[in-house]
Amino acid sequence: MWRAVFLWVMAWLLATGTAWAETTSGEKASGAQVPKLAFGQSVDNLTDDDLPYVYTEWENFTEEDGLPNDHIFAVRCAGEKVWVGTENGLACYDKKTRKFTVWREKDGLPWRAVTGIDVDPQTGDVWLALFGGGVARLSGGRFDHFHQLNSGLVNNVVYAIAVEHDNVWCATTAGASRYNTTTKEWTIFTEKNAPMEEIWNYNVFYSPEVNKVFLAVWGSGCLEFDVPTEKWKVYLDPDREMEIDLFRDDGIIHVITTAANYVGGALWVSTYFGQCRYDGRYWRGFYAHETGLPSDFTNALRARSGQECWMCTDKGLGVVADYATDTYVSYYRNGDDSSGRAEVFRQGRKIKEVPLETSIAHNFIIAMDFDGDDVWVGTAKGLSHGIGRGYYPGVRRQPEWLNKLNSTSEK
């Protein structure tokens, strides 16, 4: 009994007792207490002039520019093309011609709402998750349609799709399906053969780095599938309670997960309650009130490395810009005109606000993808393209983008 109490107290002290420090100047994130750095993080010798890269050049696209619909559900970059899934059609942006090609139902698209896209690097086939319409493959200008009645797809409400070698993984509202494009074999994963406490799959991501598939499952945390061994590993919220996060940094923030990416040795997981990162030994949670990220309600995320991850929230576009130095950037649109701002935070303190003549298309962010140094962002009211001229990872003192911004404003 006493041993259990002792262990509990020690766990509590480890989890919370050393977690807070105060800063004395600068603007804090709303209501923030400032967390001490997590393992592997350091702000030694940094000043407020040490800044992450901030995207200051944005261009936006809407129906007026040729998109089939402004409500963007999915974005996927592949070479010279940017594929865009919307609430009413599929679009492909050609970066050379700067023109959109559009497919609606009348053009053969099997269903109007496209919620996920992946491109097979071996064949160039484009795989589409259709929201209530199953799955489609766009190959050689033709759509092939897979649904509950003609294939092994477990459910027609498909939220996301990912290509893994010859396999296509589909995250559906009633389990995950895997389609082998060579053998034509379908495999269904539900609570019967996978550690899914619930079967409501929400997102899927394949990491070639570790040859694993990661599923974000609504109500069942994050599931990791090792491709060679076909073994599952599950990450759940350790406190097992819906209404609280008992200890910070003890695991996944909440079981209602929305996306999971594994890049650069780190697993990043988003939820509607905050975001988190796991490096194989330590978890770190990110809450808006202590980081400066726009919101805890996160529709999806995309990791660029083990240090940088972009969060699609309902109140702006948030970036863990440099995990090592606890540095964040949040992008906002101001209102009816296209201007906005980027806010740079470190340890919960705002260290820089950057005015943007043109910012993201809307603050309700649903999807994003990387395109080399550029980023493409799907919002509820248009598509945004952040131009990463001179992009660098981490932080730099007096970076070029800032000098350029200052010289522009002086003129």
Partner 1 sequence: MAAASDSAPTVGADNRALPNQEDLPFPVDDYTLSILERINRAGAYQVPQLPLRVDPVYADTPKELDPFGRLTQPFKRYFLVQMEYTGPGRGIPEPEHVDTVKIGFLGPIEPTVSVATGGKSHEENLGQMMLRGCQLAIEEANAAGGYWRRKIPFELVVRNDNGLWGSSGDEIIRLAYIENVWAIIGTIDGANSHIAIRVALKAEVPVVNTGDTDPTFIETNIPWVLRVIADDRRQCYILADYIYKKLGLSRVGIIRASNRYGRFGVREFRDASRRLERPVPIEMAYFVGQQDFSMELQRLADAQVEAVVHWGDAEDGARILNQMREMGMKQPFFACDRCLLDDFVKIAGKNAEGVVCASPWNPARDDSRLEEFRQKFKARFGCEPETYAAHAYDGTQMLIWAIQLAGLNRAKIRDVLATRRDPWHGVTGEIMLTAVLDRASDAYLAIRENNQWKFYSREDLGLPKEVPARPVQVSQN
Cβ-contact 76, 344 below 8 angstroms: no
Is 297 among the residues that bind partner 1 (CB under 8 A)? yes
Q: Which is nearer to partner 1, 250 or 374 (CB)?
A: 250
Cα–Cα distance measured from residue 176 to residue 188, given in angstroms and rounded to the nearest whole number:
6
Identity (one letter) of the amino acid at 286? F
Nearest alpha-carbon partner for 176 in 210, 211, 220: 220
Please count the residues of the chain. 411
CB of 383: closest distance to partner 1 in angstroms?
14
Is 20 among the residues that bind partner 1 (CB under 8 A)? no
Cβ-contact 143, 109 below 8 angstroms: yes
State the CB neighbour count (10 A cutoff) for residue 31.
9
Q: Which of 186, 232, 247, 391 binds partner 1 (CB under 8 A)?
A: 247
Who contacts 63 (Cβ-Cβ below 8 Å, separation ≥6)?
A: 69, 70
Contact string (CB under 8 A) for partner 1, positions 254-293, x = contact: x-x---------------xxx------------x------
Cα–Cα distance measured from residue 74 to residue 118, given in angstroms and rounded to the nearest whole number:
10
Residue entry with tokens 């060579």: 182
For residue 333, the cross-strand partners are 340
CB of 253: closest distance to partner 1 in angstroms?
8
Is 358 among the residues that bind partner 1 (CB under 8 A)? no
Q: Which of 26, 65, 78, 148 binds partner 1 (CB under 8 A)?
A: 148
Q: Which stretch binds partner 1 (CB under 8 A): 9-17, 136-144, 224-232, 303-311?
A: 9-17
Q: How far is CA 149 from CA 113, 130, 408, in A?
A: 19, 15, 59
Is 323 among the residues that bind partner 1 (CB under 8 A)? no
CB of 243: closest distance to partner 1 in angstroms?
5
Cβ-contact 382, 60 below 8 angstroms: yes
Q: Which is nearer to partner 1, 50 or 249 (CB)?
A: 249
Is 333 among the residues that bind partner 1 (CB under 8 A)? yes
Q: Which of 57, 65, 125, 239 binds partner 1 (CB under 8 A)?
A: 239
3-state secondary structure of 32: coil
Cα–Cα distance measured from residue 134 to residue 103, given in angstroms and rounded to the nearest whole number:
16
Tell me the Cα Rg of the chain.
21
Q: Which of 37, 43, 78, 174 binds partner 1 (CB under 8 A)?
A: 174
Q: Which of 95, 145, 165, 381 binds partner 1 (CB under 8 A)?
A: 381
Parallel, antiparallel or unpaired: strands 221-226 and 231-235 = antiparallel
CB of 364: closest distance to partner 1 in angstroms?
4
Is 246 among the residues that bind partner 1 (CB under 8 A)? yes
Q: Which of 189, 332, 370, 401 binds partner 1 (CB under 8 A)?
A: 332
Pull the structure tokens for residue 336: 């009816």
Q: Which stretch binds partner 1 (CB under 8 A): 42-50, 127-135, 346-354, 383-391?
A: 127-135
Q: Which of 22, 44, 230, 336 binds partner 1 (CB under 8 A)?
A: 336
DSSP 64: G
Nearest alpha-carbon partner for 93 in 299, 345, 306, 369: 369
CB of 284: closest distance to partner 1 in angstroms?
13
Pull the structure tokens for residue 139: 């190959």
CB of 195: closest distance to partner 1 in angstroms?
16
Is 234 among the residues that bind partner 1 (CB under 8 A)? no
Binding site for partner 1 (CB under 8 A): 8, 12, 15-16, 70, 73, 87, 112-113, 115, 131-133, 148, 154-157, 173-174, 198, 200, 202, 218-219, 239, 241-248, 254, 256, 272-274, 287, 294, 297, 314-316, 332-336, 362-364, 380-381
